[in-house]
């Protein structure tokens, strides 16, 4: 799927959120500035979260209450899977919340087998983004 601006990218996130339930894990990959946090904001809006949604780059995790709580991870600053576990982040994956993980490739050994993988890449135009979604490990079908 292609989006032509940040608003469309956010709306795709909200559309996906309407199909999520507690325990779902979303892995969100893409280059710096590709729109991962914009997409995450859309997921938050779709889960009924109305306040500000910022990248948790410096705190690693932000938790938001909503229709289903959202645990928003940003693993960019972690060096490896051991750092993920040492920080106690594994306790926040799944459970009663939707977990959205930016930069999951930093800690691949900590990510669950059943997950929704979302990749956001730059498109041809300045604001165009290409979003690819695939379920892994038996994750149910999600429509765009």
Q: Does residue 144 form part of some domain?
A: no
Q: Does residue 71 form part of some domain?
A: yes
- Measured in whole angstroms, the distance separating CA 90 from the mean position of its chain's CA atoms is 15
d(CA 131, CA 12): 9
Task: Quote the pLDDT of residue 54.
Answer: 85
Q: Is there a contact between 114 and 139 (Cβ–Cβ < 8 Å)?
A: yes
Q: Does residue 19 form part of some domain?
A: yes
Q: Does residue 41 form part of some domain?
A: yes
Task: Quote the pLDDT of residue 103.
Answer: 95
Predicted confidence (pLDDT) at residue 57 exceeds the cutoff of 80: no
Q: Does residue 9 form part of some domain?
A: yes
Task: Quote the pLDDT of residue 94.
Answer: 84
d(CA 103, CA 105): 5
| Domain coverage including residue 15 | 2-136
Predicted confidence (pLDDT) at residue 96 exceeds the cutoff of 80: yes
Q: How many percent of the chain have pLDDT more than 90?
A: 86
Query: What is the domain-level CATH number for residue 104?
Result: 3.40.50.300
Q: What is the pLDDT of residues 73-89, one digit of tens each?
A: 999 999 999 999 999 99
Rg (CA), the chain: 14
Question: What total number of domains does the chain contain?
Answer: 1
Q: How many residues would you count in the chain? A: 144
Q: Does residue 14 form part of some domain?
A: yes
Nearest C-alpha neighbor of 92 from the set 118, 56, 119:
56
Q: Does residue 142 form part of some domain?
A: no
Give the Cβ contact number of residue 66 at 10 Å.
18
Q: Does residue 91 form part of some domain?
A: yes
In this prediction, residue 58 has a pLDDT band, given cuts at 50, 70 and 90, of: confident
């Amino acid at each position: 799927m292609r989006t032509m601006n940040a608003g469309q990218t956010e709306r795709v996130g909200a559309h996906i959120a309407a199909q999520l339930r507690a325990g779902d894990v979303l892995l969100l990959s893409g280059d710096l500035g590709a729109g991962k946090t914009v997409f995450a904001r859309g997921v938050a809006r779709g889960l009924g979260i109305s306040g500000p949604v910022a990248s948790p780059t410096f705190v690693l995790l932000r938790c938001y209450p909503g229709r289903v709580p959202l645990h928003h991870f940003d693993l960019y600053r972690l060096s490896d899977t051991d750092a993920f576990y040492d920080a106690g982040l594994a306790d926040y994956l799944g459970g009663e919340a939707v977990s959205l993980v930016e930069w999951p490739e930093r800690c691949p050994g900590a990510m669950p087998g059943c997950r929704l993988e979302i990749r956001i890449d730059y498109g041809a135009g300045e604001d165009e983004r290409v979003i690819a979604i695939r379920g892994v490990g038996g994750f149910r079908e999600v429509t765009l």
